[in-house]
Structure 1
Amino acid sequence: MRYLVTSLLLSLCVVTANAETLMLSGEVAAENSQVFVAPEAESWMVQIAWMIEEGEKVKEGDPVVQYDTASIAASLEQLEASLRKVEAESRRNDLVQDLSLLEAKNTLQVADLMLQKAQLDANIPRELLSQLQYEQYQLALTRAQNAKQEAEKALQVKQQDVAAEKQRNQVEIAGAENELERVQVMLDSMTQHADRAGTAMYVEHPWTRQKVREGDSVQRGFSVLEIPSTDQLQVKAWLNEVDVARLHEGQRVSIAFDARPGVSLGGVVERIGRQAEPKQHWGDSAYLNVDIQFSDPLQVDLLPGMSVRIAVEGVQ
């Protein structure tokens, strides 16, 4: 019996000795935030002409980022001039087409009058005319009938041509208007506004890891600014892929804050990413994203971006 108790104590000591504390680094993050990205522009790079100071409080609707608009404004002026030119040419073409259509209608009216006259002449009794004159009237009637048929066909063709030409003019105008509207929307997107109240936070450039600032040129689609919501905060941490078997969803952790010495809060691992990715300037290892929810009430003021240290006790 004494031997069994001694063996159990030795086993417990071995397990305790093998237990370690797994340390992770991370930061406070907002579950919901408004992220501003470099908008569509004429080129693949856009320059930030102005950006609100980091840490400044903003209200809903406040402007927060303004991009350089010189090239877009110049394009807009050219497109406005192009639209005016297309509209003027369309009006001139419409007048020309309307005139040619009117001429075709007049030609038909003349042909109809000539046919009426030819019919009157051809209806004169034969006994009142000479044989030559009678045959001349009949020939004139045939020619007048043919002339009217040709005038009717010419009018139909002209009507189709005029309709097609006017439609082409409208298509050109619509194309110029759409291009002008596209560039106008692009120009409007060069000024970005806050959709919510909050605190402005700069974001890191994905290549240089330097915070994007006023005056920088960034590729369109890159994040430049964030306004996080402080209503729902969590912790985003990074787990070295070699430690993936040592951490599990649902594990409890302890969270310490570099900006709040002496403050420690509890948390629970909510999600562990499935795809490890390298992090620049962190060496050759790859890391998985880890989402941690606070399990203790937030009795201190926390802001997104605060760096944290996460301790996971009793890890084998």
Structure 2
Amino acid sequence: MAEADPQFPAENSTMSENEAQAEAPRRKILRRVLTIVIPVLIAAGIGAWWFMGQGTISTDNAFIKQDMVSVSAEVGGRVTEIYAKDGQQVKAGDPLFQIDKEPYELAIADARAALARAQANVSTLSNSADLSGADIAAAREDIAFAQSRFNRQQALMDKGFTTRADYDAAQHAVQQAREELRAAQARQTAAQAQLAQGSAVPGENPGVAAAKAQLAQAELNLRRTTVRAPMNGQVSQTDRLQLGAQVVAAVPMLDIVALDSTYVEANFKETDLDTMQPGQPVEVEIDAYPGVALKGHVESIGAGTGSEFSVLPAQNATGNWVKVTQRVPVRIAVDDNSQRKLISGLSASVTVNTED
């Protein structure tokens, strides 16, 4: 009997049914309220999100960029010293590597010898007999003597006291003396021409000027054997640079990344450019550093789409052309100093505030 179910009075059952009947209308009202309120809240949330998104343009097709210079030697030769290592920060003018100097030192010695020969030639020509006019004076004396002898032979010929052979010999001597005068004058003109000074290099003999230019070129090539950094930055890609390697002029041997030229290249859809202008504020988030947000501004909008600057631009003059939304590169200047290292090529997300 103790384990039998308890028996409740009949009044309690009647009260529970009354409460249930009273609760039913309240539940119907609550259900109707929720049916109305929940869609309203959802619509309000969507509207708030939409309104908050107005005035901003975002893209995750963005990358960190830094100016980069490929360094090559201006002269060829064997690498004898390496001063810079991969990852090392350098300043403009710092030596990066050294090319063998010996061949270029020999070229300087040869150029100096050529300059000495040119100067000696000028000195010899300045003191030559052709330039002094001594041969011209002697030729004129010979002409005077031959003319005097011819005059005597002509007078004797008129009187019949000489032979025709002597007369012709005296006349030939006059002509020969005149030819010698012309030859001496030509030699003097040639000597003066060799010592002439052109308008391009006034006050200096052309031969000497050419030898000096050759010497200057040899000295320049010697200085170029020390390859120096063209700008401040970080050395990279030095795996091609090895001791004893043969360097060919104009072939890149390493790269220098300018750390103070960081910017972001964001590729926006062409439909997003209507309200975008240079100077508008930008927020940059870097994928590699979650939670890091950098302030910046739109520096410039590209002059063409990415496809226009590709190696093989798309050819759309066909009947089966499909219109594709193009991307335009936008340069974003970073205004904040990042506490984390910005590496060229890192992915980023960019949000432009077009209301400002």
- TM-score, length basis structure 1: 0.58
Give the aligned residue type for 2:114: L
2:60 aligns to what? 23
1:216-274 per-residue CA deviation (whole Å, 9 max, x = no partner) reads: 757617484447474xx5413253x8x45446445543224578664322222222333
Q: Of the two, which has the highest radius of gyration?
A: 2
Secondary structure of the 1:202 match is strand
Q: Does 1:122 align with 2:155?
A: no
Deviation of residue 42 (structure 1)?
A: 5.4
C-alpha displacement of 1:58: 4.9
Distance 1:187 1:292 in 2: 43
Q: How many residues align?
A: 281
User: Which residue is 2:14 aligned to?
Assistant: none
User: Do structure 1's residue 80 and structure 2's residue 111 form an aligned pair?
Assistant: yes
Q: How does 1:1-316 map to 2 (within 5 A)?
A: 12=47, 22-27=59-64, 29=66, 35=69, 37-41=71-75, 49-54=81-86, 56=88, 58=90, 62-69=93-100, 73=104, 76=107, 79-80=110-111, 83=114, 87=118, 90=121, 94=125, 98-99=128-129, 104-105=135-136, 107-108=138-139, 110-112=141-143, 114-115=145-146, 118=149, 122=152, 131-132=160-161, 142-164=171-193, 171=206, 174-193=209-228, 198=232, 200-203=233-236, 210=237, 214-215=241-242, 217=247, 220=250, 222=252, 224-226=254-256, 228=258, 230=260, 233-237=261-265, 239=267, 243-246=269-272, 248-250=276-278, 252-256=281-285, 262-275=291-304, 276=306, 277=309, 289-295=329-335, 297-298=336-337, 300=338, 305=343, 308-313=346-351
> Could you tell me how far apart the structure 2 residues matched to 1:56 and 1:219 are?
24
Q: Which runs of 5+ in 2 are unaligned?
A: 1-35, 198-204, 312-325
For residue 24 of structure 1, report the CA deviation from its aligned partner. 3.7
Give the fraction of aligned pairs with identical amino acids, expressed as a percent.
15
Contact 1:258 1:306 in 2 (8 A): no
**Matches of 2:251 and 2:329, distance apart in 1:** 22
1:220 aligned counterpart, secondary structure: coil
1:155-187, CA deviations, whole angstroms, 9 ceiling, x for partnerless residues? Answer: 12222333445669x655544443343233233
Q: Deviations along 1:56-115, whole A, 9 cap, x unmatched?
A: 55566x5322342458527725743772685488479849x9356678446515514624
TM-score by length of 2: 0.53
Letter in 2 for 1:310: A
